[in-house]
Amino acid sequence: MPEVATAAPAQPTQRRNGATLLFEHAHVTGAASIAGPVEGRGPLGGHFDELAPDQLMGQRSWERAESHLLARAFSRLCDRLHLQKGDFDLLLAGDLLNQTVASAFAARDLDLPFCGLYNACATFAEALGLAAALCDAGFCRRVAVGTSSHHEAAERQYRFPTEFGSQRPPSAQWTATGAVMVAVESAAAQRAEARITAFTPGRVIDYGVKDPFQMGAAMAPAAADTLAIHLGDLRRGASDYGVIYTGDLARVGVPLCEELLRARGYDLRLHDCGTELFDPEHQDVHAGGSGAACSALVFAARLLPGLRGGDYGRICLCSTGSLHSTTTYQQGESIPAVAHALTLEATSAG
């Protein structure tokens, strides 16, 4: 092996184009997913690593159950990769609960350095993008990325206690119960399942929607903005991707986002994690799924296996987040939204 001083200099890496961060050494080496009982009865039910039998999972509160889901997903990830928790340098995680306590309490049990993130249901893409940057640059060898959400815990925090039985309008979405942990690594490990090659952190966009039962409409402009910037920075179009997924625009938001993208010159057929997580014919989830776990569950159950198995050479995932709180809603504020886009490629590609 030649000494460092005489080795041929590598071309300097281009790490940014426009608003988009570019990666050469950010590998997804595995994911573990745990879904709730309703998600388990959905079309992806057979593709999760584990199904929770009920919403409490033996814990004394729904909030504890959500933390338990996240810690359990991490444990399964370690088992799958034959790793110990000390083999991870950092945990990047976030969730929907006030003060992101599901992540904080899980982090306590995981005993890893922990940076907490919050961009609502866009947190999954935010965390994957930041993990890719830290690994690509060599700051971390291996980062655990986790998000979770819990239907009952979210409903009582954001809307009504589920026992109250409040009627929901057709545009409402169903907060998914589940948790996902993903391993992102710098080394081109033999077992890499996909590479993260680009990340566009999005701007906060607010079109003035004030109804929290219209989250798809509130988030569609942010998704369109980030996707247009992501594709523009990479000089790519629909034909360059196997599939392009939004996070949880669901049935109301997807056509709005497609229309906004057409106005910017992108004629895209979007898939949506919130639309595919549940079966609209047989599950009473109204417009579709949502929650910080929503895009993470579909990533773990469908997108990553698709990259690993050769169904897709390249995909785009644009997770979408609605950045309101019950306080801002009650004060009559509109709902700002954010979306973060990632490009992932099969390890054989590129």
> Site residues (CB under 8 A) for its own copies?
4-5, 7-13, 15-16, 19, 21, 60-61, 63-64, 89-90, 94, 96-101, 104-105, 107-108, 111-120, 126, 129-130, 133-134, 136-141, 157, 200-206, 323-328, 331, 333, 336, 338, 340
Q: Measured from the CB of residue 168, what is the shortest distance to its own copies in angstroms?
A: 20
Residue 118 or residue 266: which is nearer to its own copies going by CB? 118
First and final CA of the chain: distance in angstroms? 26
Residue 154 or residue 307: which is nearer to its own copies going by CB? 154
Residue 221 or residue 253: which is nearer to its own copies going by CB? 221
Residue 39 or residue 95: which is nearer to its own copies going by CB? 95
* DSSP state at residue 85: G
* Cα distance between residue 326 and residue 256, in whole Å: 25
Q: Measured from the CB of residue 292, what is the shortest distance to its own copies in angstroms?
A: 11
Q: Measured from the CB of residue 199, what is the shortest distance to its own copies in angstroms?
A: 9
What sign has the CA pseudo-torsion 225, 226, 227, 232?
positive
Q: Measured from the CB of residue 166, what is the shortest distance to its own copies in angstroms?
A: 20
Residue 319 zone, left/alpha/beta (φ > 0; ψ -120 to 50; rest)? beta
Residue 156 or residue 191: which is nearer to its own copies going by CB? 156
Q: Report helix, strand or coil for 170.
A: coil
Q: Measured from the CB of residue 343, what is the shortest distance to its own copies in angstroms?
A: 15
Residue with token string 């200099």:
9
Residue 216, CB half-sphere, CA atoms under 13 Å: how many? 28
Residue 16 or residue 262: which is nearer to its own copies going by CB? 16
Q: Measured from the CB of residue 210, what is the shortest distance to its own copies in angstroms?
A: 14
Q: Report helix, strand or coil for 320.
A: strand
Residue 35 or residue 78: which is nearer to its own copies going by CB? 78
Q: Measured from the CB of residue 238, what is the shortest distance to its own copies in angstroms?
A: 23
Q: Tell me whether strands 27-35 and 50-51 are parallel, antiparallel or unpaired.
A: parallel
* Cα distance between residue 345 and residue 350, in whole Å: 8
Instruction: Tell me the C-alpha to C-alpha distance, in Å, between residue 37 and each of 245, 260, 313.
Output: 24, 35, 32
**H/E element, 63:** helix 62-81
* Cα distance between residue 91 and residue 143, in whole Å: 6
